[in-house]
Amino acid sequence: MKLRLLPAAVERIDAGRAWWLANRDKAPYLFDEELADALELINKSPNAGQRVALSKVAACTGP
């Protein structure tokens, strides 16, 4: 299965990575390692966990 990320997700990932690199100098690669592990888990077990429907408003806004 090919995993695709929404542009908004990519933006949040990029922002999280930038914050991590600026604030976590003891483990600069941990963000990318954890993200890779999470994406691999989703790719290998796409039916794991509970599916949640997103509304257009929820998909466009966030914390």
3-state secondary structure of 61: coil
pTM above 0.75, yes or no: no
8 Å CB contact between 28 and 21: yes
Contact 46, 31 (CB under 8 A): no
Per domain, the residue ranges of the chain are: 7-60
Digit-by-digit pLDDT tens for the chain (63 residues) are: 678 888 999 999 999 999 999 999 999 999 999 999 999 998 999 888 877 777 665 555 554
Q: How large is the angle between the packed helices 30-44 and 7-23, nearest 10 degrees?
A: 150
Q: How many residues does the chain have?
A: 63
Residue 8 phi, psi (nearest 5): -65, -35
